[in-house]
Amino acid sequence: MNKFILNFFIFFCIFFPELHAQQSYSGNSVLHCDANNESTDPSSAVLYTCNGEKPSCQAFLIFKAHPPYDSISTISNLTSADPLQLALINNFSLSAIFPPNKEVIVPVNCSCSGQYYQANTSYIIPTRQDHYFSIANNTYQGLSTCKSLMQENTYSNSSLDAGLVLKVPLRCACPTSNQTSNGTKFLLTYVVDWGDTIYDISMRFNSSMESVADANGIDLSNPLIFPFTTLLVPLSTKPSSLQTKIHSQQPPYFSPFTPVIWKKTSNKRYGVWIGIGIGISLLVICFVLLLAYFHKKKAIEAARNDQLGRKKWELPQDFLVSIDQSLKVYDYEELEVATENFSHRCKMGGSVYRGVLNGELLAIKQMSKDVDKEVSLLNRINHFNLISLRGACEHFGVFYLVYEFMENGSLKEWLKKRNCQRFQIWNYRIQIALDIANGLHYLHSFTTPPYVHKDICSENVLLDRDLRAKIANFSLARSAERDESRKSSMWCLGTKGYMAPEYIEYGLVTPEMDIYAFGVVLLELITGKEAVFIQDGKEVLLSEVILKIMKGENVEVELDQLIDPSLKGQLWMELARRMMKLSIDCLAEEPESRLSMAEVVSCLLRIQLDAQRS
Ligand SMILES: *[C@@H]1O[C@H](CO)[C@@H](O)[C@H](O)[C@H]1NC(C)=O
Ligand SMILES: *[C@@H]1O[C@H](CO)[C@@H](O)[C@H](O)[C@H]1NC(C)=O
Ligand SMILES: *[C@@H]1O[C@H](CO)[C@@H](O)[C@H](O)[C@H]1NC(C)=O
Ligand SMILES: *[C@@H]1O[C@H](CO)[C@@H](O)[C@H](O)[C@H]1NC(C)=O
Ligand SMILES: *[C@@H]1O[C@H](CO)[C@@H](O)[C@H](O)[C@H]1NC(C)=O
Ligand SMILES: *[C@@H]1O[C@H](CO)[C@@H](O)[C@H](O)[C@H]1NC(C)=O
Ligand SMILES: *[C@@H]1O[C@H](CO)[C@@H](O)[C@H](O)[C@H]1NC(C)=O
Ligand SMILES: *[C@@H]1O[C@H](CO)[C@@H](O)[C@H](O)[C@H]1NC(C)=O
Ligand SMILES: *[C@@H]1O[C@H](CO)[C@@H](O)[C@H](O)[C@H]1NC(C)=O
Ligand SMILES: *[C@@H]1O[C@H](CO)[C@@H](O)[C@H](O)[C@H]1NC(C)=O
């Protein structure tokens, strides 16, 4: 299996043009194991070149907590970092356990050894199954490389036995004099994860895209980065725990499945990248399905052992088809403790509370109606852009659903924060639109049976700490099977301003109604106005305003006037116009004339690419 994966990477390896840069990014060739004899020059596919101002310095690595390496003591043992420093910089107690996939900042001493920078640590091989590649890529998550392990250790790949002690050089680097003169004090080694972009990474660590690109020799007009490879992020101050996040557990199922991009792109590299994406996604999905299967087995056992007579959640039969996340059934007492007895201080509005459960901040929603449908739906789906349900609880007919916590609240609230700095940055709005589109695309096309959300509106889109959007509130969602039953008997349900004409008139429930509602949310993002707003004392629907403009004469001028004034510069105006056009195509009167979600995703991806190139 591993050999196959390896060949796969070698086969698709991409070489980057030489650039004048501090270090060079060698893409997937860091994953190769064969000793590099193509050139005698030091290669960043082994470790970073020793070209800094100083031969040694303090550096930082980002390691993602992953059992068994999920506490200060185990991570410091793995990386030879000082446990006290590790606890201090992560603002974390020595005895606590990090949630899975939480980023942990690891301070290391980085120094030149020959032609390469490295931070030394050692690793005791725990089982016979380990080999150099799996130690570098899986245990050390790409913070070391297969080649450098083979150079430092004399054992052959096949003689790696349990109990052997390996020398492990970790990838790190010290700032060059050019970087120092720009104010860089430290370099952070970051391992790229699924869905990461240079823009996100540089914003999160308070760096600039240019300096990150320059540090890694990446051409910003073609910013390709690959999961499990490292980037150097120049920092002017020590990193802080406030900048770390928890990564999603699965790769997003986004665009690789959208054939539209294949056809329309003229960029060959992009195509290859999508090819790799599909390959990797399929492999990872197989792996995830296997994992899900074992998780499920555990969950079933846990449910059997649970003799307290509490409500049991139905476990879907076809668990190999749907990816299950093994829901937890919480005790009411646990929720009481977490929310300080459902006190005002923990209330976040409506009937939603915040609370810490097992060390993780979560949102707890109180509901009096039956939640079976929502639970069984959310239990079957799993996507980065759909809110994840962690567990549930029933207490005397009142239901409590426990979700992941979304720091930035709803999109509706966020759009009112006009003076917030990130509000003015258009890349965020494009990303939010893309996130919602990806979530809907998944719901419409990759669940079995396909689902219609039925209540897409800015209130039901939640934003996490990094302003990544997730769709929430699936209480109206239903299967989109095309039979007579798609006519809903209670079609008045929904949110005013977002309901498609065919739904208001005939109660037709189809994926196209979600696309219409998405068009309205997109309009809100572009105009900064609400879906229903008051003008001259009268209630006005944003979608009707557009309809009226489209029928008028000065279409272009009037549409331009609607665009949020915080958009400055010709480029942004041009991108906003393209988004406006997209939104109008989603709002077509006839459901058949609306764009499909796949087309929306591909269109937004292109807009995002153009925005990042600028
Ligand atoms: C090392 O050994 C493992 C299993 O024994 C194999 O899967 C892997 O491809 C080998 N790697 C190299 C570089 O030979
Ligand atoms: C450092 O900056 C100087 C002047 O701007 C430039 O000539 C040189 O190539 C740079 N060095 C690197 C490694 O980028
Ligand atoms: C490594 O060097 C040997 C001998 O010079 C050559 O035969 C072989 O093709 C080289 N391998 C690679 C991957 O370049
Ligand atoms: C990690 O722990 C093992 C056993 O507890 C110990 O032998 C080893 O020296 C430790 N490694 C480091 C780098 O502290
Ligand atoms: C790193 O270097 C500093 C200063 O030279 C030293 O005090 C510290 O113990 C070193 N840390 C480790 C983990 O070696
Ligand atoms: C550390 O965490 C505590 C809560 O656990 C918080 O109150 C404090 O502000 C944090 N300190 C820093 C520097 O982030
Ligand atoms: C790290 O290990 C290398 C090779 O094992 C050695 O040459 C170098 O001196 C070590 N660096 C430090 C700071 O111990
Ligand atoms: C590399 O490690 C990651 C986890 O860190 C894993 O998901 C991925 O499949 C590994 N890559 C290969 C080629 O095994
Ligand atoms: C230094 O800063 C300038 C302007 O911010 C940027 O263009 C350049 O790439 C930076 N150089 C380095 C080495 O980070
Ligand atoms: C971000 O970096 C700039 C300098 O590049 C600094 O002035 C500012 O204080 C930093 N902000 C944070 C939140 O660290």
Q: Summarize pLDDT for 333-346 with one digit per residue, the tens.
A: 999 999 988 888 88
| Minimum CA distance residue for ligand 4 atom 14 | 77
Instruction: Say which ligand is closest to the CA of 78.
Output: 4
Are the C-beta atoms of residues 343 and 349 closer than 8 Å to each other?
Answer: no
How many alpha carbons lie under 13 Å from residue 477 in its C-beta half-sphere? 26
Instruction: Say which ligand is closest to the CA of 35.
Output: 3
State residue 323's pLDDT score: 32
C-alpha separations of 66 from 106, 289, 355, 412 in Å:
14, 19, 23, 35
**Residue at 507: amino acid letter:** G
**Residue at 542: amino acid letter:** L
Distance from residue 218's CA to the centre of ligand 3 (Å):
28
Distance from residue 283's CA to the centre of ligand 8 (Å):
10
Sheet holding 165-170, edge to edge: 165-170, 116-124, 103-113, 56-64, 186-191, 230-235
Pick out the chain residues at pLDDT < 70.
Answer: 1-20, 35-42, 222, 249-326, 370, 419, 421, 423-424, 481-493, 568-570, 614
- The answer, yes or no, to whether any atom of ligand 10 lies below 6 A from the CB of 240, is no
In this prediction the pTM is 0.52
Instruction: In whole angstroms, give the CA distance from residue 44 to residue 59.
Output: 17
Distance from residue 490's CA to the centre of ligand 6 (Å):
48
- The answer, yes or no, to whether any atom of ligand 7 lies below 6 A from the CB of 121, is no
Instruction: In whole angstroms, give the CA distance from residue 295 to residue 298.
Output: 5
Query: Which residues are catalytic, by number?
Result: 455
Any residues with CB less than 8 A from the CB of 299 and at least 6 apart, and which?
A: 315, 324, 326, 327
Rg of the chain (C-alpha set):
26
- The answer, yes or no, to whether any atom of ligand 4 lies below 6 A from the CB of 122, is yes
Instruction: List, in order of start, the domains of the chain with CATH numbers.
Output: 2-243 (no CATH), 328-404 (3.30.200.20), 411-613 (1.10.510.10)
Are the C-beta atoms of residues 230 and 189 closer than 8 Å to each other?
Answer: yes
**Residues 328-336: contacts with CB under 8 Å, at least 24 apart:** 328/390, 328/391, 328/392, 328/402, 329/303, 329/391, 329/392, 329/393, 330/357, 330/391, 330/392, 330/393, 330/400, 330/402, 331/393, 332/393, 332/395, 332/400, 334/393, 335/364, 335/393, 335/400, 335/402
Instruction: In whole angstroms, give the CA distance from residue 302 to residue 389.
Output: 18
**Residue at 63: amino acid letter:** F
pLDDT averaged over the chain? 80
State residue 481's pLDDT score: 64
Instruction: In whole angstroms, give the CA distance from residue 87 to residue 72.
Output: 6
Are the C-beta atoms of residues 327 and 392 closer than 8 Å to each other?
Answer: yes
State residue 521's pLDDT score: 97
How many alpha carbons lie under 13 Å from residue 334 in its C-beta half-sphere? 18
Q: Which of 63, 62, 74, 72 minimizes the C-alpha distance to 96?
A: 72
Are the C-beta atoms of residues 119 and 109 closer than 8 Å to each other?
Answer: yes
The ligand 6 atom at the shortest distance from the C-alpha of residue 242 is 14
Are the C-beta atoms of residues 105 and 60 closer than 8 Å to each other?
Answer: yes
| Minimum CA distance residue for ligand 1 atom 13 | 33
Distance from residue 43's CA to the centre of ligand 2 (Å):
19
Distance from residue 361's CA to the centre of ligand 6 (Å):
14
Query: Strand 165-170 vs strand 116-124: parallel, antiparallel, or unpaired?
Result: antiparallel
| Minimum CA distance residue for ligand 3 atom 3 | 37
